Amino acid sequence: MFSFLKKDLLVLWRDRKEVLIALFAPILLVVILNFAFSDIGVDDPKNIDLSVAIVMEDDAEASMQQIEATIQSAPLSDNEQQTLLETAHAIVPSDLLFELFLDDSDLSQWISAERLTASAAAEKMENGDLDAIVHIPAGFNYDVLMQLLLGEVTDTRVKLQIEEHSLQTDILYDIMDNYLNGLNLHLALDHLAEGNIEGAMLPTGGRELLNDEVEPYPYTFAQYFTMALSTLFALFIASTIASKTATEKRQRVINRIIITNTRPVSFLFGKVTATFFFTLLQLLFVCVIVHLALGIFAGKSIEFWFITVLIITFFSLTVAGLSAMFTSLMLRMNSINLATGIFTMIIMLLGTLGGSFFPIGEMSPFMQSLVEWTPNGITTSLFIEALQYGTDAPLLAAFSKQFLLFILFLLIGIFLFPERREV
């Protein structure tokens, strides 16, 4: 099989036109689209500059004393009380909010936050120096911790005062909303861990609570289309590999291969493996070059790149499976043009359903459900989720789906592969 792999890679590599299209066309398109739609990329933190004041109306110390007293008087064992007390001190809700706005390096790139008194904040807003004020109401810490630790329902609300409604303040609203949802999520976790609070996954800091588990980190137009377009072009690699089979068939090379007593599956696996490696190379190349050209993944962690490589690897597997299917079909069909036409139609359909031409988020719910069953759709949406949620993205489910598609395509390819004397 290694001989076939080497041969297929060499043949593909020397087809300069195909190589250049596969490697550079997505890069060119992403760069063009990025410039053309750069004004629309409002999700890009670089385009956002918000001034926010945080007004603390709660006496955190008093709230904490109050919660301590409540816990100590609760009908709980000493051990349980001790755990709750430690937890309460570890997740002071107002501290989490301050950490988010004042200490978070990512957020501080596009939000300038400061702690002010109510009157100073109101004055600044009147002068037009503030975009929003976050009011932490009196009793906030007590109420949230009561709800979080002891399940007492309260109606405490953080108030977000906005000077002028805009898309940017919407984002701020979303951050606040996610922050509160994050607290509620942990509340739910507490209930799940009832009677065994030590084992519950309680937050240790506001940053983790907000960014890793709840808040979707914004992604940019360029980031989306880097993956959406390169996966589309990668799908064409399966078609290209199959068209090479047509040449082998036309030139009777395949007859020569058949009479060497080589197992047909070696021929097919050569194609599959070559497609896998070339797709992997293409996608990595596009991601790296687009990043170097536009800096679209600047500041991303090693984990992000690791996840991206994993996503690309699983997608490459699926494309490799698709090449097995296309290769077998090509061998079975008499008309090369008809076969190529069918492959192009399949790829364009996958491209449309998989969000390669327009963002998945813009699609109807029905279309979005179809996205989840196209190789490029799964990959693009997973990539976006990885951008938003990092390691919390549903990697396993998506990888399993990709692997299933790979196996399915491969089995169809093997099933359709003609017997030696039918080629």
Partner 1 sequence: MMIETVKLTKSFKGKNVVDEINFYIDEGESVGLLGPNGAGKSTTISVISSLIKPSAGDVKLYGKSIIKNPAAIRKILGIVPQEIALYEELSAYENLKFFGEIYKVKRSVLEERIQEILDMVGLRERQKELVKTFSGGMKRRVNIGAALLHRPKIIILDEPTVGIDPQSRNHILETVQKLNKENGTTILYTSHYMEEVEQLCKRVYIMDHGKIVASGSKTELLNILSSEDTIKIHLNETSDDILKKIQQIESVRHVDETDDGIRIISKKGNNILSSLIHTVESQGAEITNYQIETPSLEDVFLHLTGRTLRD
Summarize as ranges the residues that interact with partner 1 (CB under 8 A): 3-4, 6-7, 10-11, 14-15, 248, 251-253, 255-262, 266, 420-421
Owner of token pair 């109420």: 143
CA-atom Rg of the chain in angstroms: 28
> Which DSSP helix (H) or strand (E) runs through 213?
none
User: Can you state the angle between helices 16-36 and 221-250, rounded to 10 degrees?
Assistant: 160
Which lies closer to partner 1 via its Cβ, residue 6 or residue 332?
6
CB of 189 to partner 1, least distance (A): 59
CB of 1 to partner 1, least distance (A): 10
Q: What is the DSSP string of 328-347?
A: HHHHH-S-HHHHHHHHHHHH
Which lies closer to partner 1 via its Cβ, residue 67 or residue 257?
257
In the chain, how many H helices and how many E strands? 18, 4
CB of 340 to partner 1, least distance (A): 18
Which lies closer to partner 1 via its Cβ, residue 2 or residue 366?
2
CB atoms near residue 308 (< 10 Å): 20
Q: What angle do CA 378, 382, 387 make, to 5 degrees?
A: 155
CB of 166 to partner 1, least distance (A): 57
Amino acid in position 8? D
Which lies closer to partner 1 via its Cβ, residue 93 or residue 264?
264
Rounded distance, CA 156 to CA 57, Å? 12
CB of 18 to partner 1, least distance (A): 11
CB of 13 to partner 1, least distance (A): 8
Which lies closer to partner 1 via its Cβ, residue 1 or residue 42?
1
Rounded distance, CA 325 to CA 188, Å? 47
Amino acid in position 206? G
Up-side HSE of residue 366: CA atoms within 13 Å toward CB? Answer: 0
Q: What is the DSSP letter of 161?
A: E
Which lies closer to partner 1 via its Cβ, residue 253 or residue 288?
253
CB of 252 to partner 1, least distance (A): 4
Which lies closer to partner 1 via its Cβ, residue 259 or residue 298?
259
Which lies closer to partner 1 via its Cβ, residue 162 or residue 265?
265
Rounded distance, CA 73 to CA 262, Å? 81
Which lies closer to partner 1 via its Cβ, residue 115 or residue 420?
420
Rounded distance, CA 107 to CA 112, Å? 8
Owner of token pair 């030696």: 420
Amino acid in position 58? D
Which lies closer to partner 1 via its Cβ, residue 12 or residue 100?
12
Residue 93, token pair as written in the block: 């809700």
CB of 418 to partner 1, least distance (A): 12
CB of 410 to partner 1, least distance (A): 22
- 336-340, Cβ contacts within 8 angstroms, sequence gap of 24 or more: 336/243, 336/246, 336/250, 339/242, 339/246, 340/239, 340/242, 340/243, 340/246
CB of 49 to partner 1, least distance (A): 54
Which lies closer to partner 1 via its Cβ, residue 191 or residue 252?
252
Q: Which of 262, 224, 223 is nearest to 420 (CA)?
A: 262
Rounded distance, CA 177 to CA 102, Å? 18
Q: SS3 of 216, please?
A: coil
CB of 241 to partner 1, least distance (A): 13
